[in-house]
Amino acid sequence: MAAALGIRAARRMRHLLSALKPGIQIPRAGPAAAFGSSVTSAKAAVNGVHLHYLRTGGGEHAVLLLPGMLGSGETDFGPQIENLNKKLFTVVAWDPRGYGHSRPPDRDFPVDFFERDAKDAIDLMKTLKFKKVSLLGWSDGGITALIAAARYPSYVSKMVIWGANAYVTEQDTEIYQGIRDVSKWSEKTRKPLEALYGFDYFARTCEKWVDGIEQFKHLPDGEEGSLSRPSAPVESGKEKGIQPFPVFRATLCHFGRDRCVPITRTGTLERSSELKSVLRAVFICNLSFF
């Protein structure tokens, strides 16, 4: 048990503190204008706020890109916005409320903020008149995607998630405190977010995020959002049965077969080629998900 916890903590540390290490960087794209005329930028009125999104492609398969902590469509998904097949997919990359260009309002973190983001995301796609959508989310966006799929199963077709977690422990809170001070982040990771938000909003929102995540530690089993154990069946290594979703592992959620299938051992899908192969397997191949 102790060895397993140590491995789990090490994985979280490598993932979360990548922002502090100059050698491991989270990919960040440039401003929306850098994507060219094929990408449109707009806002839609959803649930009392104006949500910003980028849109490209004209394919029948709608894909929503869900960013991670402090992220936005343009900062987290530049390669996907540029390179996903625009004949097969209509790609929407959104900024959750309080993030990116979906301001005002300022970002806040009530105990149900993941559920709120999930509802916002689905309602945005419905506002844009999509009949069904697939989800591509990482980190907080992966958690949001899981909740959205659980709450709106008839609307979500397929999804790829990575870097998502389902619960918070005492060990985790120590890790989260390590990224609380954004002045300690690597310059390469920090600068694009400073440019997007300004240092004060960036720093203040990061601190609020840490506090928001830590509140889950006080819930039963430290669960995040509505990912309760009975609704999250997975297969993880040799252990099979009802468990929390694997932490910080790229996961292909295969609905209807009572499991999640690990698709990489790297912890995060950092290489564009690796992610493209995953997308091809999930979105293009003839897989039965329901």
* pLDDT for residue 273: 58
Q: List pLDDT tens digits, range 242-259.
A: 223 333 233 333 333 333
Both structure tokens of 38? 């094929």
Over residues 175-196, the mean pLDDT reads 93
CB 160 within 8 A of CB 252: yes
pLDDT at 64 over 50: yes
Question: What phi and psi, each to the nearest 5 degrees, are found at residue 269?
Answer: -90, 85
Over residues 194-210, the mean pLDDT reads 97
CB 9 within 8 A of CB 170: no
pTM of this structure: 0.74
Helices 140-151 and 113-127, interaxial angle, to 10°? Answer: 70
Question: What phi and psi, each to the nearest 5 degrees, are found at residue 241?
Answer: 145, -155
pLDDT at 266 over 50: no
CA distance 290 to 275: 23
CA distance 127 to 86: 21
CA distance 156 to 174: 35
Q: List pLDDT tens digits, range 101-155.
A: 999 999 999 999 999 999 999 999 999 999 999 999 999 999 999 999 999 999 9
CA distance 282 to 290: 13
